[in-house]
Amino acid sequence: MMRHTKFAMGLAGVAAMVLAATANAGLVRGSVTSKYPANDEDGLVAANICDNNIATEWATKSTATDGYYFHGGLVPELTVDLGSTYSLSGLAYWGYGNSGNNAKSLTLAFSTDGATYGSSVVYTPAAPLAPGSEARENVYQQNGSFGAVDARYVRITVTDNWFQGICANSEPCTGGDRVGFSEIAFVVPEPASLGLLAIGGLFVLRRRRS
């Protein structure tokens, strides 16, 4: 852990030059697939959670027949493919522009091959809005951290939202009609491919000096 930190700091100059060319340096996004794409809301597709735009959202449908976040419905599952393996140490998260429908609990599971998922963490975003408010500007960035884990694929299971209400049987219930959020990105101290590139560069410098 310490050795990794020192290594990353030693390459800070090289990394800064490369990352300076990209927005949100230190954050990585990927392509997204939904386990139940037919149950994603029209226009609020899963790809919206990794498009670097907090104004575009993903959400499930809300009707009683195909809305899968109704109480007892299907559990949303999104998979992010980062394109290559990174050492992930945290996340940045932006909520959904409606208080009750914002994701309240996410389980993140990590994989390097997309087939076998190992460690997982639970992330609980704060409610982004006051009850009854739907102001877009309240969809703010929240950060979470976890122990460094190597992963190319992150499976996101959405297990709850902030809705609490009264169901048809007059009993208190959770779940509501839908769940969503607008953006997620993962914290990377250094892309693995960049590290290899930098190591190669250091060897070239050393050879030229000898």
In the complex, which residues of this chain contact Ca ion (CB under 5 A)?
48, 51, 53, 56, 182-183
The answer to whether the CB of 61 falls within 8 A of the CB of 126 is: no
Nearer to Ca ion, 11 or 80 (CB): 80
For residue 142, give the H/E element and its range. strand 141-161
Phi, psi of 120 (to 5 degrees): -140, 155
Residue nearest to Ca ion (CB): 56
* Residue 173 vs residues 10, 72, 133, 150, 163: alpha-carbon distances, Å: 53, 11, 21, 38, 8
Nearer to Ca ion, 46 or 198 (CB): 46
Please identify which residue in the block is written with the tokens 């704060």.
126
Closest contact distance (angstroms) between CB of 92 and Ca ion is 12
How far is Cα 151 from Cα 118, in angstroms, rounded to an integer? 10
Closest contact distance (angstroms) between CB of 13 and Ca ion is 32
Closest contact distance (angstroms) between CB of 184 and Ca ion is 9
The answer to whether the CB of 199 falls within 8 A of the CB of 207 is: no
Nearer to Ca ion, 82 or 198 (CB): 82
Closest contact distance (angstroms) between CB of 192 and Ca ion is 25
Nearer to Ca ion, 11 or 49 (CB): 49
